[in-house]
Amino acid sequence: MSKNRQLSVRSAGSKSDGLLTGHDRLQELMMIFPALMLLFLFLMLPFLMSIELSFTNQRLVQGPVATKFIGLRNYVRILSDHDFWQALWNVVRFSLMVIPLQCGFALVMANFLNKLCVMKGFLRSLFFLPFITPMVIVTVIWQTIYQYPNGIMNSILEAVSFGTLGPVEWLGSELWAMPAIVLLSAWQAYGFQMIIYLGGLQNIPNEIYEAADIDGANGWAQFRFITWPSLLNTNVLILIITTIQALKLFTQVNILTKGGPNGTTNTLVHYIYESGFVGQKIGYSAASSLLLFLLILGIFLVQRLSLSRLENN
């Protein structure tokens, strides 16, 4: 419905292009200039520097041996490193698990909180609390929850299974470490998606729901036929953002598992961080950064292309 309007504005716009003064053009430039300037200085420039470094053997602490250009050697080493591919697989695994969990829960909560009539403010704040907790604190708390053998998670497990399932070493087991991180990440971050969904839900006029109520449609039907389709743009946005966020997983892994056990929770950003900050090999680290960037870019383009087809239908 709004598509037609947009088309008409485009044509209206081009007709009134002649009405846009040089004054307007100037304003346009001035409005986007600060952002561009800052993005260039603080994002692009260091990134370009990083690319340059990726072709050298630069170390963290500059020494008497001059940094030299070594071409693609870093890249070759990375691509033949088993740890790198494991990290790649891990973030893919993580994304596949966390996206449905986190976004699904966020959508459900946003839906409930949107239609609430009583105690709106309090409940919204309540459910948003995990997100405002700094990751450092989140990891500390969840570390104790996952403690083996008598952390809270294990106590719950034993209670729920009536003692049949023994305590699990959550963060130390190759099978469960990643799911454990998925759970705590979803817990911490679902607030982000929930807020965006809330914003998107606000844009759906109440009258439509009221009309549906009168027509006798129940909650589920309303969700399926009103809410979900109207959230198309929001969903696309959320999917893209969450995917990129998931592929950049780092802090939890860095604090809780350091990529272990046996590399089952190693992520690409952690790989980058380890080789740079810990192993002190800046050139190598920069090369893996670039590879990560290309990977995410690729996934993003694929997502964008397939989803924009959806959007335009």
Partner 1 sequence: MSKRIFTSLLVVLVICSAVFAGGQGETGPSNKVSIMFQGPDTEQAAIRDSARRFTDATSIEVELLFTPHDSYTEKLAGYISAKQLPDVIQLDAPNLSNLVWSGYIEEIAPHISDALVADMTLSNKAQCTYPIDGKLYAISQIDSTVLLYANKTYLEKVGARIPRSVDDAWSVEEFDAILAKLAALPEVTWPLDIMRSYGTTGEWATYGFSPALQSAGGDLIDRDNWEAGGAVNSAESIKAMEYFQKWAQKGWLVPSSGGDNQLYNADRAAAMAWCGHWLWAPASAALGGDLVVIPLPDFGRGTVTPNGSWIWSITSTSKNKDKAGQLIEFMLTDEKFLKDWAAIGAYPALKSFARLSPDYLDPDKMAIAFAQADYAVSRPPHPAYPTITVEFARAFDAILNGTDVKTALDKAAKAVDDDIEDNDGYPPFDR
Partner 2 sequence: MIVGQRHKEMIKAGLLILLGLVIVSPLVLMLVSSLKDDMYRIMEDMGSIKAFMVGDPSMNNYREILSSDSVQNFKRFFMNSIIILAGTVTGTVIISSMAGYTLHRGTLKIHKILLPLIISLYIIPMESIMLPLMYQVMKWGISDTYAVQILPFIASPIYIFLFYQFFRQVPVSLSEAAMIEGASFWRIYWNIFFPINRSAVVTVAILQGMDAWNQYLWPLLVTQTERVRPMSVALASFSGTGVIYWDRLMAASVVMLLPVLVFFLFFQKFFIQSVASTAVKG
**Does 289 sit near partner 1 (CB under 8 A)?**
no
267 vs 271: CA distance, rounded Å = 6
Query: Among candidates 263, 259, 240, 243, which has minimal Cα distance to 251?
Result: 259
Phi/psi for 134 (5° steps) reads -60, 145
**Binding string, residues 81-120; x marks residues near partner 2 by CB under 8 A:** -------------------------------xx--xxxxx
**Does 286 sit near partner 2 (CB under 8 A)?**
yes
CB-based burial, 197-227: b 16+ in 10 Å, e otherwise: bbebbeeeeeeeeeebeeeebeeeebeeebb
**Does 277 sit near partner 1 (CB under 8 A)?**
yes
**Does 67 sit near partner 2 (CB under 8 A)?**
no
Task: Determine which residue in the list 136, 162, 215, 218 makes contact with partner 2, applying CB under 8 A.
Answer: 136
Q: Which is nearer to partner 1, 12 or 38 (CB)?
A: 38
CB 148 within 8 A of CB 170: yes
Which of positions 246-275 make contact with partner 1 (CB under 8 A)?
Answer: 258-262, 274
240 vs 297: CA distance, rounded Å = 11
Which of positions 29-68 make contact with partner 1 (CB under 8 A)?
Answer: 57, 59-65
Start-to-end CA distance of the chain, whole Å, equals 12
Task: Determine which residue in the list 171, 184, 287, 290 makes contact with partner 1, applying CB under 8 A.
Answer: 171
Output the smallest distance, CB 26 to partner 1, in A: 23
Residue 47: how many other CB atoms lie within 10 Å: 14
Q: Which is nearer to partner 1, 130 or 261 (CB)?
A: 261
DSSP annotation of 51 reads: H
Which of positions 172-231 make contact with partner 2 (CB under 8 A)?
Answer: 187, 192, 195-196, 198-199, 202-207
Q: Which is nearer to partner 2, 149 or 174 (CB)?
A: 149
Q: What is the DSSP string of 208-233?
A: HHHHHHHHT--HHHHIIIIIHHHTHH
List contacts with partner 1 (CB under 8 A): 57, 59-65, 70, 77, 143, 146-149, 151, 169-172, 174, 258-262, 274, 277-281
